[in-house]
Chain A
Amino acid sequence: MRKRKRRKRHSQSEVELNLAAMLDLAFQLLAFFILTFRPAPIEGQISLRLPLPQATAVVEDGQQAGEDYNDTNPIQGLNTLTISVIADPKTGNISSLGIGESQVPSLAALDGRLKEVFSDAGNPFDQVILQVSDSCRYDELMKVIDVCTHQRLPDGRKLSKLSFVGLPDG
C-alpha cells in the first residue's frame, strides 16, 4: 500500500523542460544558415588534358637527319595538328582561323575540316596545338576549344589532348 502511494506521487510531478533556451539557439543557427545561404550556380566544364606543347619538328640546330642515334622517335611531334586562332587586337574577337597552312572562314568550316581530318583512319594526328593570339578573348577561344573537343579520333576516343601556344599581337 505504501509503495502504491509513492508511485502516485512520482507520476504527479511532471518534468518540464525549458524549451525557450533551445529555441533561441535554434533560431540563431537558422539565422546563420539563412544569411550564409548561397545556392551554387550550375556550371559546366570542358575537361582537357593539356600536355606541354612540343615542337612539330624536333631537329636541333645544326643537326642532320638521322644523326642522333638515341632518338628512337624521329617523327615525335608530327602527330600534332596545328590550328591558328588569330584575334583582332582591339576587340579580342576571332578574325581568322587556320588549320596548318590553310585558312578556314568560320567555326562551322573548322568543324567540317576537323571532321574530315579525324574521320580518315590513316591520319596521324591525336593531339592539337592551338596557336592563339594573346589578345583573344576567353569566350572566343572556348568556342574553338568546344569545336576541337567534339572531334572523335579514328579509335572512337574524344579528342582531349590540346596544347596552347601564345602568338604575340601585331
Chain B
Amino acid sequence: MAARFSQDLKAEPNLTPILDLVFQLITFFLLVINFKSAEMDLSLKLPVIGSARPVETHGQRGLLVLNIDNAGDLKIYGRPIKNIEGYIRNEAQASMLQNRMTPADLEAGEELPTTIVIRADRTTPFRMINRVIRACQDNGFRNFALKAVNKET
C-alpha cells in the first residue's frame, strides 16, 4: 500500500522561474555578443599609444580589418592570406561594386570610401606594413585607421 502511494505521488518542480532566469541570461549574452570580434586576431600585441581613441564607426560606410602578425603575414578571420595584393584587389573590386564605382572613377581621382583598419603586431617591421599599405593605396583606398591600445594589457 505504501509502495503504491509513493508511485502515485509525482514530484513536479516548478520550472517557470528557472526558465525565466535562463531566458534573462540568454538575452544578456545576445545583447553583449559581438560578432565583429571574430575578424580581430586577438593574439596580436598592438602598440601602446596614449592618445589612441576608441573606434568611431559612425558614418563610415565600410571597414576592412587587416591583421598583420610579427612575421608580416596578413590574416583575415584567422586565415593567412598568401597573395596579399590579389586579396586587396578583390576587396577593392567588391567595394567598387558596392559603391557603384568603376576603375575609371578611380583614375579620375575618386577614392574608395572603405576604411582600411590595420591591426599590426608591435614588433612587425615597417617593410611588411608598408607592403600592405601600398597595395591598398594602389587599389584606391585612402582612408586608414591604425589600431593601438591606450595602455599595456
Q: Using CB atoms and an 8 Å cutoff, list the residues of chain A in contact with chain B.
A: 19-20, 22-23, 26-27, 29-30, 33-34, 36-52, 87, 92, 132-139, 141-143, 145-146, 149-150, 164, 166
Knowing A23-B15, A40-B40 are in contact, say whether A48-B146 is a contact too (CB < 8 A): yes
User: CA of A167 to CA of B125 in the docked complex: distance in angstroms?
Assistant: 12
B51 touches A150 (CB 8 A): yes
Q: Contact at A23–B33, with CB atoms within 8 Å?
A: no
Assuming the A-B contacts A19-B16, A52-B137, are A45 and B47 also in contact, with contact meaning beta carbons closer than 8 angstroms in the complex? no
- Per the 8 Å Cβ criterion, residues 8-39 of B in contact with A are 15-16, 18-19, 22-23, 25-26, 29-30, 32-34, 36-37
| B101 in the interface (beta carbon within 8 A) | no
Most interface-central of B36, B138, B143, B148 (chain A CB within 10 A) = B148
- Is B89 in the interface zone, CB < 8 Å from A? no
Contact B125 A134 (CB under 8 A): yes
Known contacts A23-B22, A50-B133, A137-B125; is-contact A45 B29 (Cβ 8 Å): no
Beta-carbon contact of B145 and A46 below 8 Å = yes
Does B93 sit within 8 A of A, measured CB to CB? no
Q: Which of A45, A52, A134 contacts B127 (CB 8 A)?
A: A134
By a CB distance below 8 angstroms, the chain A residues around B81 are none
B49: shortest Cβ distance to chain A, in Å? 5
Q: What's the nearest-Cβ distance from chain A to residue B146, in Å? A: 5
* Cβ–Cβ < 8 Å partners of A146 in chain B: 49, 51
Q: Which residues of B contact A149 (CB under 8 A)?
A: 51
Query: Which residues in chain B, 42-57, are within 8 Å of chain A measured between CB atoms?
Result: 42, 46-49, 51-55
A-B contact count (CB 8 A): 152
Chain A, residue nearest B22 (CB): A26
Q: DSSP class of A's interface residues: helix, strand, loop or mixed?
A: mixed
Given the contacts A41-B42, A42-B150, A138-B121, A20 and B22 also touching, CB distance less than 8 Å: no
Residue numbers in A under 8 Å from B126 (CB-CB): 87, 132-138, 141, 164, 166
A29 contacts B146, CB within 8 Å? Answer: no
CB distance from A30 to the nearest CB of B (A): 5
Asked whether B130 lies within 8 Å of A132 as measured between CB atoms, the reply is yes
Closest chain B residue, CB of each to CB of A20:
B15
Q: A36-B33, A47-B144, A134-B126 are in contact. List 17 more A-B contacts (CB 8 A).
A: A27-B22, A30-B22, A30-B29, A37-B29, A37-B32, A43-B147, A44-B148, A45-B147, A50-B144, A52-B138, A87-B126, A92-B125, A133-B126, A138-B47, A138-B124, A142-B49, A166-B126
Q: Which residues of A contact B84 (CB under 8 A)?
A: none
With a cutoff of 8 Å between Cβ atoms, the chain A residues found around residue B137 in the complex are 50-52
Considering the chains assembled together, what is the distance between the CA atoms of A23 and B13 in angstroms? 12
Query: What A residues does B76 contact at CB under 8 A?
Result: none
Could you tell me the distance in whole angstroms from the C-beta of A51 to the nearest C-beta in chain B? 6
Residues of A within 8 A of B37 (CB): 38, 40
A49-B148 Cα distance, complex, nearest whole Å: 17
